[in-house]
């Protein structure tokens, strides 16, 4: 009797779920699919922006991974990957070794706080909305801050790539200050490594720049672009060209790197720990290894005065995972492989502003684009709420065939 191929997926966020459910949908019982994750909970990361001002609770934006996977016949093991041995086709975890015939790396990022002294919630002085624990801590600090407000600084430092979240955070905190009646006591400064507002690490998007500049002016948010943060000390952000910026409360997005398990696996990742792949999302040197989501190595479309990374949103991560899953299934069952170069990845994003928002749709993440739509308005906020509920249900129940 022929042994079923073993497919191992590292990571239980958007890319990991999408890959697992897509493979199960295509292969049914023709493969043994296992997902490993050091976390048991799935976190709907786009909603962390609402957790910070207190508009969401953790239980509203999480669900149990074990239940979601096992209900579809997918194995789930809560453990941490430590190293990958591509020659032996093994992953070394905290619970021992696991063999694979196909491996999907969907591990998400490591936050490189150490790139700026004093940055981050661990050994630094700024908060974060990148993970659930960070956001919970930031939310608690926010409630304390409202009792004695002062200057607020939000943004993304040099090398960061998750720029969209920084815009949503500053706009939602601005809304929260207004609702609390303390806006006049808390001046807001937005700082970013981008060469201009809404560069987003993709060289801009239509008329987004004048649109956001007009909105920032209307609500009283100051901004600094081409900004380099040299260090953070208690209550002060020291910049290269803009002097010292005081703050009472700050959230700054750090650079993302690949996780330690990839960095500690010679040949698997590049110097930053990201996985080099071809247009099939297949490793350039090890054909049994695929990658999707933030773990994929991507070059910026053009150089910037200050280094900026490329965003890999939840929607984009799911698309990458779908391509990888298709090609693994094709290798097992036969058929035509699929190739989708990263610049041709479509993107749908809602940038939320608390009670307003902007819907952004494009056929290609990098220019030239045939489709480039920006639609602002309060309905965008309600659309984001709908998408949160719909996508949580879709991911929890494994209905990846739905739009």
Residue 401: its pLDDT value, please? 85
Catalytic residue ranges? 162, 349
Q: What tokens were used for 49?
A: 């922006």
Domain 134-255 has CATH 3.40.50.720: no
Residue 403: its pLDDT value, please? 85
The CATH number of the structural domain formed by 6-109+258-342 is 3.50.50.100
Sheet holding 357-362, edge to edge: 347-352, 357-362, 372-376
Torsion sign, CA atoms 168, 171, 175, 178:
positive
CA distance 226 to 401: 41
Residue 246: its pLDDT value, please? 98
Which residue ranges in the chain fall short of pLDDT 50?
Answer: none
Domain coordinates in residue numbering, the chain: 6-109+258-342, 134-255
Residue 37: its pLDDT value, please? 98
Say which residues have a Cβ less than 8 Å from residue 98's Cβ, sequence separation at least 6.
8, 34, 36, 77, 90, 91
Residue 33: its pLDDT value, please? 98
Residue 307: its pLDDT value, please? 96
CA distance 262 to 304: 27
134-255: same fold as 6-109+258-342?
A: yes
Residue 181: its pLDDT value, please? 97
**286-323: string of b/e by CB count within 10 Å (b at 16+)?**
bebbbbbbbbbbbeeeeebebbbbbbbbbbbbbbbbbb
Tell me: the pLDDT tens digits for 227-283? Answer: 999 999 999 999 999 999 999 999 999 999 999 999 999 999 999 999 999 999 999
């Amino acid at each position: 009797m022929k042994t079923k191929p073993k497919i191992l997926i590292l990571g239980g966020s958007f890319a990991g779920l999408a890959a697992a459910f897509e493979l199960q949908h295509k292969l049914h019982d023709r493969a043994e699919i296992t997902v490993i994750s050091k976390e048991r909970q799935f976190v709907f990361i786009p909603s962390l922006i609402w957790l910070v001002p207190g508009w969401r609770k953790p239980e509203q934006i999480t669900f149990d991974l074990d239940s979601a996977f096992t209900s579809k016949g997918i194995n789930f093991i809560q453990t941490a990957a430590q190293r990958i041995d591509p020659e032996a086709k093994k992953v070394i975890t905290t619970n021992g070794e696991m063999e694979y015939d196909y491996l999907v790396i969907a591990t998400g990022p490591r936050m490189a706080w150490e790139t700026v002294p004093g940055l981050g919630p661990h050994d630094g002085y700024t908060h974060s909305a990148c993970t659930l624990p960070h956001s919970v801590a930031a939310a608690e600090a926010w409630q304390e801050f409202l009792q004695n407000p002062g200057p607020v600084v939000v943004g993304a430092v040099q090398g960061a790539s998750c720029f969209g979240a920084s815009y949503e955070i500053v706009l939602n905190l601005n809304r929260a200050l207004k609702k609390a009646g303390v806006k006049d006591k808390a001046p807001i400064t937005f700082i970013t490594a981008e060469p201009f507002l809404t560069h987003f690490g993709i060289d801009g998007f239509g008329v987004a720049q004048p649109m956001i500049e007009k909105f920032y002016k209307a609500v009283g948010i100051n901004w600094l672009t081409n900004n380099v943060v040299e260090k953070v000390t208690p209550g002060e952000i020291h910049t290269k060209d803009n002097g010292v910026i005081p703050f009472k409360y700050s959230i700054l997005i750090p650079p993302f790197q690949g996780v330690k398990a990839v960095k500690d696996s010679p040949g698997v990742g590049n110097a930053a720990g990201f996985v080099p792949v071809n247009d099939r999302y297949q490793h350039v040197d090890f054909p049994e290894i695929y990658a999707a989501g933030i773990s994929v190595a991507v070059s910026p479309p053009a150089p910037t005065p200050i280094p900026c990374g490329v965003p890999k949103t939840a929607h984009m991560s799911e698309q990458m995972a779908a391509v990888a899953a298709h090609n693994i299934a094709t290798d097992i069952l036969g058929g035509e492989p699929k190739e989708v170069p990263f610049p041709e990845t479509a993107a749908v994003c809602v940038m939320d502003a608390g009670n307003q928002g902007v819907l952004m749709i494009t056929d290609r993440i990098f220019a030239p684009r045939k489709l480039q739509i920006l639609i602002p308005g309060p309905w965008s906020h309600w659309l984001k709420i709908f998408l949160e509920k719909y996508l949580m249900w879709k991911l929890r129940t494994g209905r990846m065939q739905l739009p």
